[in-house]
Amino acid sequence: MPAGRHFLQIPGPTNVPDRVLRAIDRPTIDHRGPEFQVLAKEVLEGMKRIFKTRHPVVIYPASGTGAWEAALVNTLSPGDRVLMSETGHFAALWQKMAGKLGLEVELIPGDWRHGADHAEIEKRLAADPSHAIKAVCVVHNETSTGVTTRIPLVRKAIDGAKHPALLMVDTISSLASIDYRHDEWGVDVTVGGSQKGLMLPPGLSFNATSDKALAAAKAARLARSFWDWGEMIAANANGWFPYTPATNLLYGLREAIAMLEEEGIPNVYARHDRHAEATRRAVRAWGLEVLCANPDEYSSSLTAVVMPAGHDSDKFREAVLRHFDMSLGMGLAKLKGKIFRIGHLGDFNDLTLAGTLAGVEMGLGLAAVPHRKGGVQAALEYLEAQARTASGARKAA
Ligand SMILES: Cc1ncc(COP(=O)(O)O)c(C=O)c1O
């Protein structure tokens, strides 16, 4: 084993902080006993604060893919039409799942460098006077591309078309890292996962609901059993689960929520914004290109970097892993070999970013990828200036 800590700088799973690891490292308790009841109520309420909702949040012992399925099967019926935007690999996987479940997908194609096209969503909905489209599904932060979709604009598009479709949003790689407001933005189902901004191991996933989604669930006819909100929400009201919960991950979740709230959720978002900006400055100084084509859609949880033509990002990533024990995200599906992704989310600070960017810059040199030096320096100058401004603001207060 190499000395020192492995740098897990993929855009999730992220580094699990010691506090969360220690919280998980406890005996599993009876999930039908009073101690569990207190834990369950705490995390269910805590997750409402993270999603910014007053509606029920459902917690599944499953990876994010399970929560995708739960969102669809609880609210829709066989043959229902859903409108989806092809923003990248994860949007494409959600689309594939919808097809497998017997839904009819209307797809808005995309170039994997932009977020969902809200004007096109409005156009498609306006062209659907019979309201055959039952849901609009978008990925808030496309983990495969480092591009975000502005959810309030999607909400506006649905309202602009005066269309009753449900709005479903995947926040698996944005929750607890990028500003998100389930109720205020009028989202009906938000899908989340444990292994990214929440700083937990993989294994928990979430659905935040709305009155409209819960009403749709009463009429929905897709087969559901494990994912059924009805039994979950009824049991959760008293601190119980209808089947064995992932008790130790819930200990971790309680600790993670406490950590996020100690830092202050707005500060968590600001920290991610700062690290993303510093990363983009480094990328530009290296003379490389950020994959995201629209600055209004930059992701604060990861940055995807385009490889110069003729250079394979997997060979570069392999060099970084071999020399510096750091994992970077690969290019997925049609982006394989063409980009690499720097994860800067979760339990992450200025010096973690400095180390990460140093590993990237040295790796570019070792893999003979054409670039200029000075990316790390550009990032450090930005971080130093930000730290100076923050300490000035603290003194003035
Ligand atoms: C945006 C997004 N959606 C869905 C998923 C699938 O989640 P999981 O792999 O936890 O099942 C991921 C995984 O990285 C993701 O980033």
Is residue 193 within 6 Å of ligand 1 at its C-beta? yes
Distance 145 CA to ligand 1 centre (A): 13
Mean of per-residue pLDDT scores for the chain: 98
What band does 146 get if pLDDT is binned at 50, 70 and 90? very high
pLDDT per position as a tens digit, 327-368: 999 999 999 999 999 999 999 999 999 999 999 999 999 999
Ligand 1 atom nearest 174 alpha carbon: 1
More confident residue, 396 or 380: 380
Is residue 60 within 6 Å of ligand 1 at its C-beta? no
Indicate whether 1 pLDDT > 80: no
Mutation to probe ligand 1, out of 60, 142, 143 (largest number of atoms < 8 A from CB): 143
Q: E strands within 37-165? A: 57-60, 81-85, 104-108, 133-139, 141-142, 147-148
pLDDT per position as a tens digit, 260-288: 999 999 999 999 999 999 999 999 999 99
Is residue 69 within 6 Å of ligand 1 at its C-beta? no
Chain centre to alpha carbon of residue 281: 23
Q: Which residues contact 254 (CB under 8 A, 6 or more apart)?
A: 23, 39, 42, 43, 46
pTM: 0.98
Section 290-304 average pLDDT = 98
Mutation to probe ligand 1, out of 8, 59, 65, 171 (largest number of atoms < 8 A from CB): 65
Task: Quote the pLDDT of residue 397.
Answer: 85
Q: Give dist(CA 216, CA 298) in Å, integer.
A: 33
Distance 172 CA to ligand 1 centre (A): 6
Q: Is the dihedral of CA 133, 139, 142, 147 positive or negative?
A: positive
Is residue 297 within 6 Å of ligand 1 at its C-beta? no
Distance 171 CA to ligand 1 centre (A): 9
Mutation to probe ligand 1, out of 60, 140, 173 (largest number of atoms < 8 A from CB): 173
Mutation to probe ligand 1, out of 68, 172, 345 (largest number of atoms < 8 A from CB): 172
Continuous segment of H or E residues that includes residue 273: helix 265-286
Q: Which residues contact 263 (CB under 8 A, 6 or more apart)?
A: 271
pLDDT > 90 in the chain, percent: 97
Q: Give dist(CA 139, CA 92) in Å, integer.
A: 10
Is residue 177 within 6 Å of ligand 1 at its C-beta? no
Ligand 1 atom nearest 144 alpha carbon: 16
Section 202-207 average pLDDT = 98
Distances (CA, A) of 69 to 100, 267, 375: 10, 32, 41
Distance 392 CA to ligand 1 centre (A): 39
DSSP string across 182-249: TTTTT-SEEEEESSSTT---S--EEEE--HHHHHHHHH--S--STT-HHHHHHHHTTT--SS---HHH
Section 367-388 average pLDDT = 98
Atom 15 (ligand 1) nearest CA: 172
Is residue 173 within 6 Å of ligand 1 at its C-beta? yes
